[in-house]
Amino acid sequence: MKELLLFYTFSGLAVVSASMVVTVKNPVHSVLFLILTFISSTAILFLVEVEFISLIFIIVYVGAIAVLFLFVVMMLDIKITDLNKSFFKYFPVGSLLGVAFFLEVLIILTDILERNPYYSEAYLYMDWVEKLDFLTNIGTLGQVLYTSLFTYFLIAGIILLVAMLGAVALTLTFARQSKIQLISKQVSRNFFNSVILANEC
């Protein structure tokens, strides 16, 4: 019952955040909602005990693709615009295509499960992880990643840190109207080119 409640919670959060990605006005907020969608999908994959794919979601999608989207949005300096009428004009067609896509996926998955010779009600509720696996995917990945591949993992983290610092440095804007003190011009001034007598004007 607890797992079912968590599944419905993360599923609802994923649907709401995915809808906010395409409806929010600020592009930075859109990228942040996209990251929330990826995290909700990762939690759902953790619930079904697919740890490797969920870690790939975190590392690849959140750690690379979503951050890359955020860098591009920051560097392009996209302005916040209001929703125009074209969004509502294409909304019925997009909704129809989305419903058709989900129905096709549901039909294909149902057909695959029914043609599976091992498909039975007895196998649906059996915890195969406790019966077959003695080491989880996270444990296996952690042993390899933090022992023999530790150097490559550290280099990848440094590269991502440099990329993040570079994007922040490129998006910094300095004031063009700043006043600068020019020492050479101040030293070269003398009495004749700096003082004007009032009676000579």
The number of CA neighbours under 13 Å toward the Cβ of 136 is 13
Whether 17 and 30 have beta carbons less than 8 Å apart is answered as no
Phi, psi of 193 (to 5 degrees): -105, 10
End-to-end CA distance of the chain: 94
The number of CA neighbours under 13 Å toward the Cβ of 161 is 6
Q: Which amino acid is at 183?
A: I
pTM over 0.85: no
**pLDDT digits (tens), the chain, 201 positions:** 788 888 889 999 999 999 888 888 787 788 889 889 988 989 998 888 787 888 888 888 887 787 777 777 777 766 655 555 566 777 788 889 889 988 988 888 787 767 765 555 555 555 655 655 566 777 777 778 788 888 888 888 888 788 778 777 777 666 566 667 777 777 777 767 666 666 655
